[in-house]
Chains A and B, each alone.
Chain A
């Protein structure tokens, strides 16, 4: 059985736009209510990371222990399988690396990744 709680989106987009620090008191929703449920999704916590989990897809058995233990909802499953990491939110805690029973996830320093990225760019 699959279920979706179908939370309405409502005025979410509008509301999120309405609450910006350039707005004066007359233009903000009253009472400190946030009418945009789940809008933290757009907030990046990926930049907290110093190490990045990477999955070796051949080793992954899709047990989803990483999904189960991730404190940041940063494992994106698809149709009951591991699909990818959500690097926008992953804070690099490393729990998924340790709970993976097949050692399919390893940790790479973000330093090395940015180094590799820039080398890649240079090549091009």
Chain B
């Protein structure tokens, strides 16, 4: 049933989209997402999908048309990166607020300026408060698996929120890796048929979507959205459970790697997590109690689970591949540190900003972070709350 193949991240995501066979895809090319659009175009051109492919003139229109299609009652998708995601900004909120279960791969790329085509997480992290569920992927396998799970999560009646599935631009999107893909029929059965309650193309029950909603109801609608995001936690785990039955591959809010007895640990997302795991193995071989938490679900933010997972750690580094320019570190750092606030122990939590604009992160970089943590663990003190890793001073 599972087939072992070699695909690039973009091919894997396009493959997932082909198997999902959405009714509508509206997309605009942008490096490094472009290949997804190209692959998908060829599926359409060769009649391998039932999809109407809308070749919009911008990402703003990509998300707008996707919203229109989803509102109409279709399973609708798009894909983007960086500036394209930024151009969608306004409509991201509308997709989430209208409770449209859109699935969108985001191939992480740095935002301008100066213009840069390589990986960091400034794009998706910037969209973290738009009401979208966010799933991060370490490699092509996870990107593929997350895409398929995303459909089921998004469309769950307790959720009905759009989902972003991210992977690192070039590092994953353009790299050929091994992965296992599921057969078409199993994907089809796994995601099921999309049956919305209310949709535009219903002559019997016409609806109005996107009205003017003022102070008398707007707040209630936002409260519902907050609840849906909360519900998403259970649903994400439920879907992961079903996915494990199908594939044997295990997913949760995060992957805890040698974390149980760890005294020093790193929290990290996406492709650099793989590099960091190799470093953990080396440190373990040296007898050092190093561990790692690879965050998969950033929205909803699993703060209780993270706190529980690192409760025995003495020194923790949160690694962010994005800046918030808040003077308080990266976007993962602040909520992680806040999640640990109620804990009784004296855990030290520091932040490392790394890999901006595609700056390569090598094992030595990660090893340096663990070395710092070792020192913090011993002294109970840190020199810098926020460190820029791999930047030239």
User: Is A80 interfacial (CB 8 A cutoff)?
Assistant: no
A24 touches B220 (CB 8 A): yes
- Interfacial chain B residues near A10, Cβ < 8 Å: 204-206
A31 touches B205 (CB 8 A): no
B216 touches A21 (CB 8 A): yes
Contact flag A33-B198 (CB < 8 Å), given A7-B203, A8-B203, A10-B204: yes
User: Is B50 interfacial (CB 8 A cutoff)?
Assistant: no
Contact flag A31-B98 (CB < 8 Å), given A8-B203, A25-B221: yes
Q: Which of B98, B206, B227 contacts A32 (CB 8 A)?
A: B98
Q: Which of B203, B209, B220, B227 contacts A33 (CB 8 A)?
A: B209
- Interfacial chain A residues near B224, Cβ < 8 Å: 25-26, 28, 30-31
Size class of B's contact patch? 20 to 34
Best-surrounded residue of B97, B99, B208, B219 (most CB of chain A within 10 A): B208
User: Is B213 interfacial (CB 8 A cutoff)?
Assistant: yes
B220 touches A31 (CB 8 A): no
Q: How far is the CB of A112 from chain B (nearest CB, A)?
A: 35
The distance in angstroms between the C-alpha atoms of A34 and B209, with both chains bound, is 7
User: Is B223 interfacial (CB 8 A cutoff)?
Assistant: yes
Q: In chain B, residues 62-98, which have Cβ atoms closer than 8 Å to a Cβ of chain A? A: 97-98
User: Is B248 interfacial (CB 8 A cutoff)?
Assistant: no
- Interfacial chain B residues near A94, Cβ < 8 Å: none
- Interfacial chain B residues near A11, Cβ < 8 Å: 205
User: Is B47 interfacial (CB 8 A cutoff)?
Assistant: no
User: Is B217 interfacial (CB 8 A cutoff)?
Assistant: yes
Describe B's contact surface by its main secondary structure: loop
A35 touches B207 (CB 8 A): yes
Q: Which of A7, A8, A21, A34 contacts B208 (CB 8 A)?
A: A34
B210 touches A32 (CB 8 A): yes
- Interfacial chain B residues near A16, Cβ < 8 Å: none
- Interfacial chain A residues near B99, Cβ < 8 Å: 30-31, 33
How many of A's residues come within 8 Å of B, CB to CB?
20
B205 touches A32 (CB 8 A): no
Closest to B228 in A: A30
A28 touches B217 (CB 8 A): yes
User: Is B211 interfacial (CB 8 A cutoff)?
Assistant: yes
The distance in angstroms between the C-alpha atoms of A6 and B213, with both chains bound, is 28
User: Is B160 interfacial (CB 8 A cutoff)?
Assistant: yes
User: Is A37 interfacial (CB 8 A cutoff)?
Assistant: yes
A25 touches B227 (CB 8 A): yes
A32 touches B221 (CB 8 A): yes
Q: In chain A, residues 1-54, which have Cβ atoms closer than 8 Å to a Cβ of chain B? A: 6-8, 10-11, 19, 21, 23-26, 28-35, 37
A34 touches B207 (CB 8 A): yes
- Interfacial chain B residues near A23, Cβ < 8 Å: 220
The distance in angstroms between the C-alpha atoms of A23 and B216, with both chains bound, is 10
The distance in angstroms between the C-alpha atoms of A28 and B100, with both chains bound, is 17
- Interfacial chain A residues near B204, Cβ < 8 Å: 8, 10
Q: How far is the CB of B132 from chain A (nearest CB, A)?
A: 14
Contact flag A25-B207 (CB < 8 Å), given A31-B99, A32-B97: no
- Interfacial chain A residues near B223, Cβ < 8 Å: 25
- Interfacial chain B residues near A19, Cβ < 8 Å: 217
B221 touches A28 (CB 8 A): yes
Which residues does B use to contact A, with CB under 8 Å?
97-100, 160, 198, 203-211, 213, 216-221, 223-224, 227-228
Between-chain CB contacts (< 8 Å), 10 pairs: A8-B203, A8-B204, A11-B205, A25-B221, A31-B99, A32-B97, A32-B213, A32-B217, A32-B218, A33-B99
Known: A8-B204, A30-B99, A34-B209. 7 other contacts (CB 8 A): A23-B220, A24-B220, A26-B224, A28-B220, A31-B209, A33-B98, A35-B198
Which residues does A use to contact B, with CB under 8 Å?
6-8, 10-11, 19, 21, 23-26, 28-35, 37
